[in-house]
Amino acid sequence: MQLFAHRGISDLAPENSMAAFELALAQGADGIELDVRLMSGQVVVMHDASVDRTTNGTGLVSQFNHNQWQGLDAGDGNPPPTLRQVLAFVAGRCEVNIELKSVDLVPQVATEITNAVEHLGFGLTQLCVSAFDHRLLVQLTALLPKVAIAPLIASCPVSLAAMAADMDAQAIHCHTETTDMDLVGDAHNKGLKIRVYTVTLAVDLLRLRQIGVDAVFVNDVEWARSILNENV
């Protein structure tokens, strides 16, 4: 079962910061999960619509310009990074899951993925794009037909994995509480991976491994690895 660092190692460093992503690689994460929004035409790494919770600033991400953005502190002494900065740092050393948090950035994300594959050492299979708004994933695959996509779901669909298969997705990203053997089995039968967010309890981590989940998003990879190794 793969271990993805949720917003980097966000238990030990500010979420979605370069410090958190550096820790993810240091801990040997199989993948990094991050969130992106659009700021003055740039794809920046930020979960919330505003910068209030995670920086020393206030205001909506969409209302900042480049100079104002550079004045922010994401908690590690640096402004929140751009997607390109993070991809250049990772440089293909692990997988990266890019979650789309706003509706206006699909073309820009497609450009960043193309750049990462052509210039930053990534294979296309190392990059996956997820979103709760599944329409954004359809828009993205119209621009990049071979990109890996994963619809995010917060509940278990009546049709199980069918909706993801119909989208030609490669995976489904599911909530811990609603992931069960029926969903995992149906996904695997349809050639889909199941990745589960966000696992913070040992009992959930062990249950998900037992039912065959492919990957989990965790806030501390070393914590998760130690739990799994102690309960072989």
**To which residue do tokens 């030990």 refer?**
12
Q: What is the pLDDT of residue 2?
A: 98
Rounded CA-CA distance 97/16 in Å is 12
CATH number of residue 138's parent domain: 3.20.20.190
Dump pLDDT digits (tens) for 89-117: 999 999 999 999 999 999 999 999 999 99
74 burial (CB, 10 Å; 0-12 / 13-18 / 19+) is: buried
Is residue 175 among the annotated active site residues? no
Dump pLDDT digits (tens) for 185-198: 999 999 999 999 99
Distances (CA, A) of 190 to 154, 157, 166, 183, 185: 20, 15, 10, 11, 9
pLDDT above 90 for 205: yes
- Residue 57: domain span: 2-230
Is residue 134 among the annotated active site residues? no
**Counted domains in the chain:** 1
Distance spanning both ends of the chain, measured CA to CA? 12
- Whole-model pTM above 0.85? yes
Rounded CA-CA distance 175/154 in Å is 5
pLDDT above 90 for 56: yes
Dump pLDDT digits (tens) for 19-54: 999 999 999 999 999 999 999 999 999 999 999 999
pLDDT above 90 for 232: no
Angle between helix axes 202-210 and 221-230 (nearest 10 degrees) is: 60
Dump pLDDT digits (tens) for 145-160: 999 999 999 998 889 8
Q: What is the pLDDT of residue 156?
A: 87
Percent of the chain at pLDDT above 90? 97
